Chains A and B, each alone.
Chain A
């Protein structure tokens, strides 16, 4: 047996990058296969998710019936319906079912150890895992989504032009990152408290209100002016408002930059929390 690493290949920066990419790709592939083992449960839960949108459309149609032709905080009925449809779409990107509790569970039952023993990065691993989760979800959900959008086609806005469309897609993808980073952060808190389910519950309640999932943020910001300064709005409201033309064209770039700023900040916070958490974990007995 030699004491020189038997595994060190001739490592050039290029081969290093290639090896990392291959690992990410394989995590993605393996996680997709894993998700597909539960496809029936997955399809069912996807369909169930469409129920709230139906009740919301009924609710708002009742509200607008008493005031035909009126608008509420700048939203007419059609815009309101579009708003909920687009929020549903955005949430399909930014919500992360099971992410926080999964991380917390692995910390509590010790399976987090494998990320400390093996030469892998846990957050990177979780990220690609989540992408796989989302891809399978879209594969299952595209049909039902298309159906609902088609049924409500009369309410949908006209094509807003390429700049807005591009900004919308960017914002949508970034909403995925913000959702991932926030929920990972909540999961990592388990390094300190072990049990995070009540924290997850509070987060879900807060984000339901403050992301604009429940009602457009214009209706809230009169009472809660601080919602504009929180990251939650990027989980549902911002991409939706961009596509509906609620954000003036000249503000779009700024809005995207702020969203990117949140991602950078949350990313740094995530890394910091992970490193501190691992230190604490190894100080308390692994």
Chain B
């Protein structure tokens, strides 16, 4: 059953256009010029209950705007959305008790107090029974390993510890839908992994519906099977994560190990040499030339080992978004 249904959602912003120079600023006092920017254009997708979906796109692609629309912070210019049967921007309490939004910024915790005080407040805000509260708090503090930090003022916690506390605050009322906007931004590798592992475990256990945006592909690969790729407000891919590579990557990587401890000259003609460490070499080759290159290499050199691999998702995504005509890549 669908937990989130989005149909042709559009959101435009009027942006004040400021021209350069003092004179232009003075003129701007009397006559303002505005520009209409589309943050989200005709976005449609359906997410089933218990799915965990990645939302990928470069900065300004419309990911955060979409999450804001689904959290009811922003009203759309046109289109519809239903989350758990509610229209988010009506901001009904019945809906607000059933979802959470976690962003990389500090949002829910009281800065000067220990996190447990904020949690206690959440218990009343979300009307959690005492028994549920105790059980969930124990479980979450265990999983996130923050038990000993509960009585320390939030401002004294590290970024990673604070993020884990934010997650507890967001999950205490056991939301059915969770929006995660860059949950690991700015965290060190250890904290990143810990948050990642927790999210995977928690989502599987509770079967909650999750949308995750992240620039950090390791997060995405570890957590999501399905990805919605958005660029310039338009959905350019909605399907299995692995299919992104199939669809958008124009290259593969050939890894060779030569028998005679050297890397021969002239391999550039096959493609870009990514790494050369005799006797091993990695070459990035255009997809349609892979078999041709392989037979050519095999016929000319003596090879000990050979493999053909996909490019890392991170590189494919980076390439996809760096090319200006990413929207056209779809066609």
Interface residues of A (CB under 8 A from B): 1, 3, 5-9, 19, 22-23, 26-27, 30, 33-34, 37-38, 110-111, 113-114, 116-120, 279, 281-286
Contacts and interface: CB of A to CB of B under 8 A. Distances in A.
Contact of A34 (B68, B105, B112): B112
Interface string B209-234: 10000000000000000000000000
A34 B121 CA distance: 13
Given A23-B124, A30-B117, A285-B65, A117 B105 contact: no
Given A3-B1, A30-B110, A285-B13, A9 B120 contact: no
14 contacts: A1-B3, A1-B207, A1-B208, A3-B1, A5-B97, A7-B98, A7-B173, A9-B129, A111-B107, A116-B91, A119-B126, A283-B75, A285-B39, A285-B74
Contact residues on B (Cβ < 8 Å of other chain), bracket: 35 or more
A282 B73 contact: yes
Interface of B: 1, 3, 13, 39, 49-50, 65, 68, 71-75, 84-85, 89, 91, 93-94, 96-98, 100-101, 105, 107-108, 110, 112-113, 117-118, 120-121, 124-129, 153, 173-174, 176, 206-209
A113 B13 CA distance: 19
A37 B65 CA distance: 37
Nearest to A11: B127
A226 B108 CA distance: 45
A114 B108 contact: yes
A37 B93 contact: no
Contacts, number: 97
A33 B117 contact: yes
Contacts of B110: 30, 34
B85 A30 contact: no
A274 B137 CA distance: 34
Contact of A1 (B108, B112, B126, B176): B176
Contact of A286 (B73, B98, B117, B120): B73
A118 B96 contact: yes
A26 B120 contact: yes
Given A37-B113, A118-B96, A282 B89 contact: yes
Contacts of B124: 19, 22-23, 26
A23 B13 CA distance: 37
Given A7-B174, A116-B91, 16 more contacts: A1-B50, A1-B208, A3-B176, A9-B129, A22-B124, A30-B110, A30-B120, A34-B112, A38-B112, A117-B71, A117-B101, A282-B74, A283-B74, A283-B75, A285-B13, A285-B68
Nearest to A25: B124
Nearest to A284: B13
B105 to A, nearest CB: 7
Contacts of A279: 75
Given A7-B127, A37-B113, A117 B96 contact: yes
Contacts of B100: 117
B172 to A, nearest CB: 11
B105 A110 contact: yes
A204 B112 CA distance: 28
A27 B121 contact: yes
A119 B93 contact: yes
Given A114-B107, A116-B72, A285-B13, A6 B120 contact: no
